[in-house]
Every structure is written in C-alpha cells, then in structure tokens.
Amino acid sequence: MTVKIYKSVLSNQVIESLLDFFNSNTNLHSDTMGMTKINLPWKHVQHILEPILKKYIPVDKNLGDNFYKHSFPYFTHIDSGNNKNSYNVLIPLYLSHKAAKQKFVVFDQYCTDYSGATWLGDIWKPQQDFKLNKKRDFPYKDPTVVGCTDRPISDEMYQILKYDYRNEEQFYGLTGIAYDYTPGNILVFPSNQLHCTGRMDCDYKIGLSLRFEILDKSQIL
Ligand SMILES: [Fe+2]
C-alpha cells in the first residue's frame, strides 16, 4: 500500500478560501464527539479544488467526507465506507499554533473489513455509536487487520502518538510514518489503511478530508 504526499500544492489564497467557507458557514456545522464538521464538502469546494487535485489523482467520483475542526487527537481508524477502491485525500488547512509540530500518522497495516472501523483500546468507551465506523478494541488482536508485527510500537512513534486516553497497547504491532500536518500539502492513501492524528500541541486544527473512488491505481501520479 502506498501513501503519496504532494508538497506545497495549495496556494495561501486557496487555503484561505477553504477556511473562509468553513468558518463562515456555521449553519452547516455538526458535532461528532466534540469535533465540529461540515459533511459532504465536495459539492461546496469542487470549483476550488478540482482544477488542482485532478493534476494528481482522478476526482470524478467523490465518496465523502468532511471538513473538521478538533482539539484532541482522533483514534486510529479507517474510512472505507464499503468501497474497496476508496482513497483518502487529507488537506490540512489550519493550526491554531503555527509553530506546533503537528503530525498525522498513516500506518502500514490495513483492514480487510471495508465497512469502516475505529480502534479505541480499552481505556475509554464513548456511549454513543459512531455514524459509520464500528468500534473495535486493539488492531493487533483484530483478525481483520493485516500486517501487524509482534512487537510494541517504536518509542519514537509512541512519543508522537501518546495522549491522555491513549496507551501503548492501542498501537501494539503497528508501524508507519508520521507526516507533518502542513497546510498547503496533500496526503493521499487507501482509505482502509489505519491512520490517526498525532499528539496535539496546538489548541485546535482545521482540515478537509475528501474520499474518491480510484479504480486504476496507476492514475495516481
Ligand atoms: Fe480518517
């Protein structure tokens, strides 16, 4: 499985117009587990992003996902939405503390259950159900997760991931890469690859997550 990073592809002007859309359309905001979202953003931002994104990936079939603003790191999850050819396009837009070294981690491991999943470990369980993803416990104990090692997460990676409701066991068996969460850059990866937010050293961040169906992987430049 591959992760593609495209650096400095969005101008400040494009980033500003996306942020302006998110911040000014509070009537479209919804709240999921303390995260503010605007769902199904493509219809709103297609005219801004399509000319840019189509240089790198096919964008004919959008599958979701959302604008988000959050102040705590999100759990390890996948977003396939029952589509084996779904790809995530992560578009960082804003960090409340610009000098903060915010990371986004994409693991090497992937999930064979395409319906969607979030791995919460056993420290804390939210009462309410997620709209799409199934709650699961630990990736390394999960038969639908492929590629786990029989070793703890590396110390270096755990320093990036650890947070008050996260413990080391939640990441046992996982390996991967921590990418800088840098506005202007775009990250593309298969939606069934496990991923999560790194420890947050800023008050909040705003980003845009899009998903597209890509049937021919060779079209991802
Ligand atoms: Fe995600």
Q: How far is ligand 1, taken at its centre, from the CA of residue 195, in Å?
A: 6
CA separation for the pair 101, 198 (Å, rounded):
9
pLDDT at 129: 59
Residue 221 lies in a domain: no
pLDDT at 130: 61
pLDDT at 98: 75
DSSP state of 94: E
pLDDT at 133: 66
Q: How far is ligand 1, taken at its centre, from the CA of residue 111, in Å?
A: 13
Q: How far is ligand 1, taken at its centre, from the CA of residue 208, in Å?
A: 10
CATH of the domain at 67: 2.60.120
pLDDT at 100: 73
State the residue for tokens 């709209």. Answer: 131
pLDDT at 217: 86
CA separation for the pair 181, 18 (Å, rounded):
16
The strand pairing partners of 179, in sequence order, are 104
Residue 220 lies in a domain: no
Q: How far is ligand 1, taken at its centre, from the CA of residue 14, in Å?
A: 22
Which residues form the domain of 17?
A: 4-215
Residue 168 lies in a domain: yes
Residue 178 lies in a domain: yes
pLDDT at 49: 98
Residue 90 lies in a domain: yes
* Domain total in the chain: 1
Low-confidence ranges of the chain (pLDDT < 50): none
Residue 206 lies in a domain: yes
